[in-house]
Structure 1
């Protein structure tokens, strides 16, 4: 059966094979996001293949259509990472304009949007509809930059009411079906939301004012409070070492299930939903060796059956009647929207990226670092080679460093494999999805433990004869770029490395980065003396391999000064350093034309320095 291609992907028609390969590689593997399941249809955001903008789409009456036009980019910039950029309110859907952060109202059937709300120097995210009172409950962030402040507010198109303020950050608002109870998460500096956060539960009056407020503090972190159809509050907490679901009992939490595994990813963005509940139980996911397992559970959290067994990553979940809706990725497919009938066990793919088939499935690796610790990676190897030698290797480091990589079909990895490279996607110590202990091993050790892990992975693959020891490369984005550059300065065998908007000067970044992560570097590195010692810009004499840098000029998380100073310092010290700047790009290279340019330049860089 031919899968229905998402309209955003179906338009790609390059003229040559090379252009086609680059166009396919430039597609984001996770190009669908922000799933919302409502009585008026299923809504989500899809990345436009021409502009890189995120457009709003709707599935209704067995077909889908775009709500927003191609020139309108939707996205929140709260905390720098956004999330929760749209919500259905009555017969209109409210969206956040990515450029201005103003709120716009769209007819659900499509048509001309109307301005709804904005404030000067203010961003919005985590949109939640309060239908009974015809208002939105949102996270509001007021600039400027490091002096930003947040609060939880209620908005109509003409009125604003503050519901909660005083904490540094707010997230994950959830409303009970009867509209009488509001739950949310809050935290304050220097913590990140996965380190220490609080659950707040408030009783609302008929006109929406907070009458009574309760709190729960487990000494760890909470995320994604969700109400069942029956009004029960379920929240995810990791106070026992794993992100696990718990039922709120009025003054404490009751565990649901006993699987010792993370049940949600690290909460970097607003609006995430990875568990849903109804009167007979719920749908939950958990991680097993870095891949997602989706299960139907009873009211006590006991697993009844496995759902969507081919899925290896859940981007978002939603429930409407007997249908479970999910944005997913798998080993052989990029992001797609699918649904599962919970009683009849019927499955339907609603929209998908172009039909994909990877020539190689990822192999899960566990690499021993020492007698007590192992790290996880996924290895992709080319099926056809023109040489009797083992293939060259690209080790890829994700950002965060508390994010994670997944065993999913990634067009970029597929592109590298087509060009004869093996790819190892690494989850070094400090990554999410492996429990609090694994995540917190990186405390004070960033730039050291992650480098050990990258080197150990390469050495293990060399010793097993699976890769060419003369052609080793490493690349990473954001925090992963920090790992790349420190690895190149660690005397390893890597021939070259690519840093995508990576951290180069941790001490300087502490005074440059945005407020959300302004306390994070102290946890990752500790004292200023350590920040100085671990910063690649201060280790120039140890560099032994060329470096390639990609950087957006509008990046507020890792500012361009980080890349420009590092590259200049390397050149002055006699090392090879190349820089590619992308005008108008932020923390991430999103525009398809820029992504194609980046991918082609990176491959040429690796080919050249591998003497191929």
Structure 2
């Protein structure tokens, strides 16, 4: 029997504990011999990342017990944190541990405990490592070294380095060999050619972000394992914002083909495309490349937020496994000769940029609107796909899951705005006739990123209670080509705010949402968009701001980490040239315009968006009579990983909406709002 009750009051089995227990997803999948390994989140274990192995018989086990946390902090967002190979003594894994960021070696079949390979450093934030490549023939592991040279977050250098596997560098920095120089601010790990004679990697420099412009660097490897004749091969950094804007060529990934050609993903055409180049076919320093699947107006790559991401990999038969799509992604097999692309079958509509291959098999991480992220294996010989690990299991009746719709709305000037709309949904409840539902606009982080259309129990937490969710892929989002991505150039705090508002207003205009009960929320860059929206419009009744940027000038002058320290030059403009713009757009300096209640959530260990900005913002709001709450979380950084934190944050957000929208609920603690 269907019960009639107001929106927002419906009972739901999707509680905060369930949301927290299923937060996060597997990542960094790889093949070790005949086994598949990956990292997965453990919210109940302090939010650590566990390294998991799946044996050929299907059994799974954790490679390392708690508190080992396989996670790198290079660029703060990390990247590929482990590499492994099979030796005569069984698997040997090298990994970065989050606690001290040292590299460790571990043979699960023999060693009692991991052995440190790299030293600690008392300078700044020390030494960090990511994207390792094992070279057992040389007795080394090659990877990116991030080395702090002073106490400021921008006192840092990055090189490709060789670390001895025998542990001789565990106490001696001098035992680490530097393979590349530090001519470039940022580098990825090396990719070694099939004959072992060449190494290639991606590099870029401030003020560019890797989706603005990168270079592919090439070096010869000497018999002793040194790099020589280092030179750029393809790519381009392009002009900076100070030179009039625009950008260069973004190469997001490189891999070697079996015949010695270099494969790479470039967005020179306006879309990230897979290309091939012969490093020896140089003519007056100009090398011609060839697109392998041109003119599809789809993305075969994405923003390089994590070093070691993989959108494609070559298979033994010469074909390529590729992740591609427009606004969504699928896994396909590309014939580089004919350009024919055949997509795999299955219910998955989003593939994470973490691929591995084993013979004719491809292993990836995929999800869909009705399933969470799973580890999927594609047999390219039979075309059959199957889930081999992290299988989605319905922890509650899927009748409570949202029924999302991907839509395109019209923004200012007639521009397209893409969004995923999750209306309220409950199998046993409906609202009184004529009542319109409250809706919350979700602004994703990045801002150079995208909200994928996948099952998210946090969304179900709200929709199953009668509160709709609209995930907006505002201008600046990835997945829709470079022109869409660059709409945010110089317009952060304008285009994102306008696009979110356009979707909210459209839902209200068409009668899908209650205009008086609209809210907005987001974390990181989404927290910025939320705060900026609350200071720019009276459209929203309230907002939830998580680990945000609130003061552009502070963020541009030393209050964030090195990777994004000059990001604002493209998003806003050079600080020295447009200081007034930094002040005018910052929520910190527009706090007097906020009239809506808000919830502010912040990790106290966040070095990307530090709590100092929240504290200054709260000081500006104090005494203005605006109901608000501030929940700081000790031990949390940029994004929440601990189960208890996630539970508290979700319940506090629901309480904010209940109080603001006039909804009575007894299943969550009442959030105390102070004026």
Give me the TM-score of the superposition, normalised by structure 1. Answer: 0.94
Write the distance in 2 (CA, Å) between the matches of 1:447 and 1:223. 26
- 1:322 alignment partner, one of 360, 363, 376: 360
The answer to whether the aligner puts 1:549 opposite 2:600 as a matched pair is yes
Write the distance in 1 (CA, Å) between the matches of 2:32 and 2:436. 51
The answer to whether the aligner puts 1:166 opposite 2:162 as a matched pair is no
Kindly indicate whether the alpha-carbon contact (under 8 Å) linking 1:430 and 1:439 is maintained by their aligned counterparts in 2: yes
Q: What are the within-5 Å matches in structure 2 for residues 109-128 of structure 1?
A: 109=109, 112-120=113-121, 121-128=126-133
Q: What are the within-5 Å matches in structure 2 for residues 138-153 of structure 1?
A: 138-143=143-148, 144=151, 145-153=153-161
Could you say which residue in structure 1 is the equivalent of 2:324? 286
Could you say which residue in structure 1 is the equivalent of 2:40? 46
Could you say which residue in structure 2 is the equivalent of 1:247? 276
Could you say which residue in structure 1 is the equivalent of 2:244? none
Could you say which residue in structure 1 is the equivalent of 2:221? 204
Write the distance in 2 (CA, Å) between the matches of 1:28 and 1:281. 35
Write the distance in 2 (CA, Å) between the matches of 1:59 and 1:126. 21
Map Cα deviations across residues 231-263 of structure 1 (whole Å, 9 max, x no partner).
432111111111111112223321110122211
- 2:484 alignment partner, one of 432, 435, 438: 438
Write the distance in 2 (CA, Å) between the matches of 1:252 and 1:132. 34
Could you say which residue in structure 2 is the equivalent of 1:583? 634
- When residues 131 and 298 of structure 1 are mapped into structure 2, their CA distance, relative to the original with a 3 A threshold, is farther
Map Cα deviations across residues 566-585 of structure 1 (whole Å, 9 max, x no partner).
12211233322210000011
Kindly indicate whether the alpha-carbon contact (under 8 Å) linking 1:442 and 1:449 is maintained by their aligned counterparts in 2: yes
Write the distance in 1 (CA, Å) between the matches of 2:259 and 2:374. 30
Write the distance in 2 (CA, Å) between the matches of 1:35 and 1:571. 47
SS of 1:339's partner is strand
- 1:73 alignment partner, one of 45, 56, 69: 69
Kindly indicate whether the alpha-carbon contact (under 8 Å) linking 1:294 and 1:309 is maintained by their aligned counterparts in 2: no
Kindly indicate whether the alpha-carbon contact (under 8 Å) linking 1:172 and 1:225 is maintained by their aligned counterparts in 2: no
Kindly indicate whether the alpha-carbon contact (under 8 Å) linking 2:78 and 2:307 is maintained by their aligned counterparts in 1: yes
- 1:601 alignment partner, one of 635, 646, 652: 652
- 1:220 alignment partner, one of 249, 256, 269: 249
- For structure 1, the residue ranges without an aligned partner over 5 or more in a row are 1-16
Map Cα deviations across residues 154-194 of structure 1 (whole Å, 9 max, x no partner).
11132311111221111142122332221100111111111
Write the distance in 1 (CA, Å) between the matches of 2:609 and 2:338. 41
- When residues 109 and 272 of structure 1 are mapped into structure 2, their CA distance, relative to the original with a 3 A threshold, is farther
Shift of 1:353: 5.0
Could you say which residue in structure 2 is the equivalent of 1:84? 80
The answer to whether the aligner puts 1:233 opposite 2:271 as a matched pair is no
My pick for the range that moved more, 210-219 or 54-63, is 210-219
SS of 1:489's partner is helix
SS of 2:329's partner is strand
Shift of 1:134: 2.9
User: How many residues are aligned here?
Assistant: 595
The answer to whether the aligner puts 1:518 opposite 2:565 as a matched pair is yes
Kindly indicate whether the alpha-carbon contact (under 8 Å) linking 2:14 and 2:460 is maintained by their aligned counterparts in 1: no
Map Cα deviations across residues 363-407 of structure 1 (whole Å, 9 max, x no partner).
111011144411110011122334331221011011111011100
Over the residues paired in the alignment, what is the CA RMSD in angstroms? 1.9
The answer to whether the aligner puts 1:136 opposite 2:141 as a matched pair is yes
- For structure 2, the residue ranges without an aligned partner over 5 or more in a row are 1-10, 169-174, 237-247, 280-286, 664-675
Kindly indicate whether the alpha-carbon contact (under 8 Å) linking 1:325 and 1:339 is maintained by their aligned counterparts in 2: yes
Kindly indicate whether the alpha-carbon contact (under 8 Å) linking 1:221 and 1:239 is maintained by their aligned counterparts in 2: yes
SS of 1:270's partner is coil
- 2:20 alignment partner, one of 13, 26, 44: 26
- When residues 329 and 113 of structure 1 are mapped into structure 2, their CA distance, relative to the original with a 3 A threshold, is same
The answer to whether the aligner puts 1:509 opposite 2:509 as a matched pair is no
Give me the TM-score of the superposition, normalised by structure 2. Answer: 0.85
Q: In terms of Rg, which structure is larger?
A: 2
SS of 1:480's partner is helix
My pick for the range that moved more, 301-310 or 47-56, is 301-310
Write the distance in 2 (CA, Å) between the matches of 1:24 and 1:228. 44
Kindly indicate whether the alpha-carbon contact (under 8 Å) linking 1:29 and 1:335 is maintained by their aligned counterparts in 2: no
Shift of 1:325: 0.5
Q: What are the within-5 Å matches in structure 2 for residues 223-372 of structure 1?
A: 223-250=252-279, 251-258=287-294, 259-278=296-315, 279-288=317-326, 290-300=327-337, 302-315=339-352, 316-352=354-390, 354-356=392-394, 357=398, 359-372=401-414
SS of 1:516's partner is coil
- When residues 420 and 78 of structure 1 are mapped into structure 2, their CA distance, relative to the original with a 3 A threshold, is same
Map Cα deviations across residues 31-76 of structure 1 (whole Å, 9 max, x no partner).
2011122325221101014121100011221222110112111111
The answer to whether the aligner puts 1:378 opposite 2:420 as a matched pair is yes
The answer to whether the aligner puts 1:566 opposite 2:566 as a matched pair is no
Kindly indicate whether the alpha-carbon contact (under 8 Å) linking 2:374 and 2:392 is maintained by their aligned counterparts in 1: no
Map Cα deviations across residues 3-35 of structure 1 (whole Å, 9 max, x no partner).
xxxxxxxxxxxxxx9897212212455420111
- 2:493 alignment partner, one of 443, 447, 450: 447
Write the distance in 2 (CA, Å) between the matches of 1:524 and 1:541. 24
Shift of 1:125: 1.1
